[in-house]
Every structure is written in C-alpha cells, then in structure tokens.
Chain A
Amino acid sequence: MTTSTILTAEEPHGTESGSASSGRSPRLKVERVNWPGTVILVLCAVTVLLPLYVSLSMAFKTQGQAVDGNAFSFPAPFSVDGFVQAWTLTNFPVGAAMSLLVTAGTVVATIVLAAFASYAIVRNWERRLFRYSFYYLLAAMFIPFPVVALPQIQLTGRLGLDNPMGVILLATMFQLSFSVLLFTAFLRSIPMELEESARMDGATTWQTFWKLIFPLLAPMSATVGIFAFLYAWNDFMMPSLIISDPALQTLPVRQNLFQTQFSNNYHVSFASYLMAMAPAIVAYLFTQRWVMAGVTQGAVKG
C-alpha cells in the first residue's frame, strides 16, 4: 500500500498561463493518490452494498438454499422461482401499476402546480396576496405528516379519496413547499428582459409561461421531479394509511405480506423486495447528477 505519484486525471490541468477556462488552480500539479483512503472507502462502499447484494443473491436462490441460513452465499443453481412466485403472490402487475400511477401523478402534479404557483408569486411579489401565499405554502415544511395524518385519513375517506388519487393529492401537497422554494429561487434569477421581449412579440402571460418560463425551469423541474419520484415511489406510511382497499396498494405496502404470511419463503420475499426497489435504483443511476445537485440546493435553500 505505497503512495505512488501520478498525474490526476480528474481535471484538465493546463500550464501556468493557459487554463483560465477551468477557473481552478492552473498549475501543472503532481498529486499523490491517497491509497489508504481509497482502500477504506472501497471497504465502506462494500458495507453499503451488502444489504443490496444479499437481496440480489437471496432472490435468485431456490427455496432449499434460501432457508439454509447463509445470506451471503452465491446462488447455485440460479433460480427465478422466487420472482415467479412473488409476481403472483403480491399481484405485482397491479402493485406496480398503482405505484406508477401514484408516482407519475405526484411528479406531474408537483412540477406543474409548484411551477404555476412560483411563477405567480415571483412576478407579483409586491402584492400582499402572493407574498403571503409564499409563506403559507412554505409553512408545510413545519408540519410532519403524522401530525395531520388522522384527520386526513378521515377526510379522504369521506370524500371518496381513500385510494391512489388521495395519495397523489396529499403527497403533492407535502412536496409543494420544498418545490416552490426551489422554483422561486430559480425564477428570481431569470432576467425580466427576457420575458419583456417575449411580450413585445405579443405573447400572453399564459404563452410566455409555457413557451419561455417552463422550458427555462427544466433543470429545476428535473430536481423537483426526482424528489417527488423518490418520495412517492418509496413511501410506505402515507399509502398504507390512506388507501383503504388492499387491492389498490402500492408496491412498498404490499411487501408486508411477507411479514405475516409466507415468512419463510425468503427467496420469494427477496425477489419481491428487489422488484420494488430496482426501479428507483435504476432511475437514480441515470439521473445521479441531478439527484446530487438537488440535495445540495435543497439543503442550502431550505
């Protein structure tokens, strides 16, 4: 484990004079690679991945192999029996459809409603109604879901919203504060001149919003959308409380089946967990840049 010296390949290092573009220290620097650090971090990464590896290996085992107690052994032979059984036991297609419905609904509703409200608020900031609305919508960040959960269960029940639609409504409202915060901060940085030139060309406010503002908001919409996606896809508490018909439940809630019945069919339960987790992980791998940027922005603005 010696420390060797190499040129860092991460950033393009120019010579003394010519790299004003990167804005970083322009010296040709010879950096030492921190090998002990690398090794420690790789070990930590293994710990992070361990539960996911266990899910993967358990899911592909046969029933006999799954109950022998060793979670870390490699599946031999490979078996998809767990997936086949999980598919029918949890009624996966319906569960996935419900999760998709709730997630897509929450993402779209959050982006559209938050962008609408933020645009109105920022462009009319001098009006009291809009200014106060901003603080009003932001107040939800102070309200944890458990505090209002019981009355919400009653209310959604009375209004016939004890189904995925009710979850979309509530999830959107809880995402609204954070999203309005991000959108308004971004909108304030868009110069008015841009909009005024669109209006010179005769565009109405409605057209200006859709043709100019909404496209400009795209990076923020991506961040807002990703957070709404992760929340709606992964949440257990809200759908489990609001959706009264088990047949309409989302994927995370369906997994409790394996806590009550079938609790020894580990290969089935893990196959089912895997099918419920995988979409979020795959989505993350494709959008990680925005996810990471979003966390930072959210924290700094929040």
Chain B
Amino acid sequence: MSTTTTTRRGQGRPQSRSKRRVEPVFYFFLLPSLVLFTLAITVPGLVGIFFSFTDSIGIGDWKFAGLTNYIAIFSDPAILQSYLFTFGFSLITVLVVNIIAFLLAVGLTSQIRMKTALRTIFVIPMVVSGIIIAYVFNFLFSNSLPSAGAGSGISWLETSLLANPDLAWVAIVVVTAWQAVPGALLIYIAGLVSIPGDVYEAAEIDGASKFQQLLKITAPLVAGYVVINIILGFKGFLNAYDIIVGLTNGGPGTSTRSIAMTVIAGFNGGDYAYQMANATIFFIVAVLISLLQLSLTRGRNTL
C-alpha cells in the first residue's frame, strides 16, 4: 500500500511536496475515523435508501416495491402537514432569532455597562438541554401563563397555549428562539467587532444619526454574517425534535409534528420502508439547502 507512491507521483498535484512515501502511521491516524464513519453513517444511510424502495416493516421478509412509497408520500396529508409545519416554523424562527440576536449584538457592542456579565448571561441558553428547558417552559405555558391570564382577566390567556392547535407553534418558536439566539448573537458580535471604528466616526462627522449609521453602515457590513446565521439556523430548525417533544409531543393532534418526528414515529408504527422514503426526501432537501449555503458563502471567505 505504501510502495505505490513513487510511481504515482505524476498524478499528484503540482504543489506535491516530494516523492516521499506516505508513512504507514498516517494510515493508522486516518483509518479509524474512515472505518467507523462508514459503519456508523454511510452504511446506515445506504441501507435506509435501499429499504425505501421496499415494503419492509423493519423486521422479517420484504420485497421490492419500486417507487410506491415515494408516490404515496406525495399524497399523504400527514407528511405534507409535517413538511408545511417544519418549514413554516423554521422560517419564522429564523426571522425571530436573527432580529433579536442582531439587536442584542448591537446593544452588547455599544457603550454599555456590565458588558461581560450580560454577555455571559445571554449565552447560557445555548448550554442548556433542549428537552429539559422545554419541560420547564411547558410548565410555564400550561400553569403559570393561564393563571396569570385568569388573574388579570385576559380570557385568551386562560387556556394553555400548548392546548390550542392554532397557536401551539408559537410556544415552540418561543422556546427554540430562546435557545438559538445565543449562537447567532455570538456570530453577530464577531461581525460587529470586525467593523473598524473610524467608519462610524466619519459618518458622525458627516452628520449621520445613530439609526442611519445602523442602517447604512452596520447592516451592509454584517450582511455576510446574516447569511451564515440564516442558513445555519434554518438547517438546525429543520431537524427540530427535542424541544417539540418536550412541549407538545407533536400535538394537539398532529398540528406540531416535525419531519423528524414523523420519521421516528415510523419505527414504532411499522411503516419503516415508507418513513425511509420520507427520510430520503428529507435528506435530498437538506443537501439542497447545504448546496445553497455553499454557493452563498463561497467568495465570502474574507470573513
């Protein structure tokens, strides 16, 4: 394996350092990752795609079913609803998170007191377990908020947000945003800090107001960071699972079921092959979004 190097040198890249052979120890460094990665992710991935073309229920006999699963998925209202919910939820959450994170970042980089302490506090939600904080919020939404509503006479608050099929998603957005703001915030802070101070001084001399400076200087200069935050956030929210399980468990009914939850439910529901087709479609969607990310962030390597 390590003897081929001199003969294959011509195929190497121009910057190829020398004709030195690869030391065997480098294979020892690389192979554990390659082998385990293949076993743990690639093989299951391929197995899943394979079974999406069968009628397997997860165990026992199966036979090929062609595209039956895929065709069925496109006319399955439960699946369509989960896609609609997940994309809608992700879109709204991404907007909410980025607006809040950007404003907080502007505040945290301005001349305020207790900067370090505030920054420390704002990042805490990032390190808290999603499912547990969802349980805590679950209590607040189903106990504290209704009793506050009863106390103050606001009738629409008296019933739990989580029990309302039309509004349960709001609770999920709130908790997801609570947890996702810190990540976006830190990235925005990095972006804001990288803007040289003289730009603002010059604008000040020209008589630009603080708001104009924010709109005309800050916003354009952090545009690259906005793109990163939106894509990273959107990709993350599409996988929503823990927080929804802790808040509504997909309910009331199936109104807040995410794609991840429908896929996972397939394991117990006996429609393994069907949900693997769903997962395959979800995978293609994820790849498309990642490709979009690459094309948008390429050329922005100056960050």
Contacts and interface: CB of A to CB of B under 8 A. Distances in A.
A141 interface: yes
Contact of B22 (A37, A40, A124, A235): A124
Interface string A161-205: 000000001101110100010000000000000000000000011
A78 interface: no
A277 B132 contact: yes
Contacts of A252: 129, 131-132
B260 to A, nearest CB: 4
14 contacts: A38-B113, A45-B118, A54-B140, A71-B144, A140-B41, A144-B239, A147-B286, A151-B43, A174-B41, A277-B133, A280-B128, A296-B190, A299-B232, A300-B228
7 shortest interchain CB distances as A-B pairs: A151-B44, A234-B129, A120-B29, A236-B131, A146-B260, A117-B33, A120-B30
Contacts of A127: 5, 12, 22
B34 interface: yes
Which of B17, B25, B125, B267 is the most central at the interface, judged by chain A CB atoms within 10 Å of its CB? B25
Given A37-B112, A51-B136, A150-B263, A155 B25 contact: no
A205 B136 contact: no
Given A54-B140, A146-B259, A130 B36 contact: no
Interface of A: 8, 10, 24-25, 31-35, 37-38, 40-42, 44-45, 48-49, 51-52, 54-55, 58, 69-72, 113-114, 116-117, 119-121, 123-124, 126-130, 133, 136-137, 140-155, 169-170, 172-174, 176, 180, 204-206, 209, 230, 233-237, 241, 252-253, 255-256, 258-259, 266, 269-270, 273, 276-277, 280-281, 283-285, 288, 291-292, 295-296, 299-300, 302
B60 interface: no
A37 B110 contact: yes
A83 to B, nearest CB: 16
Interface of B: 5, 11-13, 15-17, 22-23, 25-30, 32-34, 36-37, 40-41, 43-45, 47-48, 51, 58, 104, 107-108, 110-115, 118-133, 135-137, 139-140, 143-144, 147, 178, 182-183, 186-187, 189-190, 197-198, 225, 228-229, 232, 235, 238-239, 241-242, 245-246, 259-260, 263-264, 266-267, 272, 275-276, 279-280, 282-283, 286-287, 290, 303
A98 B107 CA distance: 41
Nearest to B283: A147
Contacts of A114: 33
Contact of B286 (A143, A241, A284): A143
Given A142-B286, A144-B260, A144-B286, A38 B13 contact: no
Given A252-B129, A291-B127, 9 more contacts: A70-B144, A113-B33, A126-B15, A129-B30, A130-B30, A146-B241, A147-B48, A234-B132, A273-B132
B187 A295 contact: yes
B124 A281 contact: yes
A236 B135 contact: no
Contacts of A142: 286-287, 290
B3 to A, nearest CB: 14
A109 B131 CA distance: 25
Given A34-B111, A116-B30, A117-B30, A236 B136 contact: no
Nearest to B147: A69
A283 B178 CA distance: 20
B115 A295 contact: no
A150 B267 contact: yes
Contacts of A280: 127-129
B290 A141 contact: yes
Contacts of A124: 22, 26
A180 B32 CA distance: 13
A42 B121 CA distance: 10
A37 B187 CA distance: 20
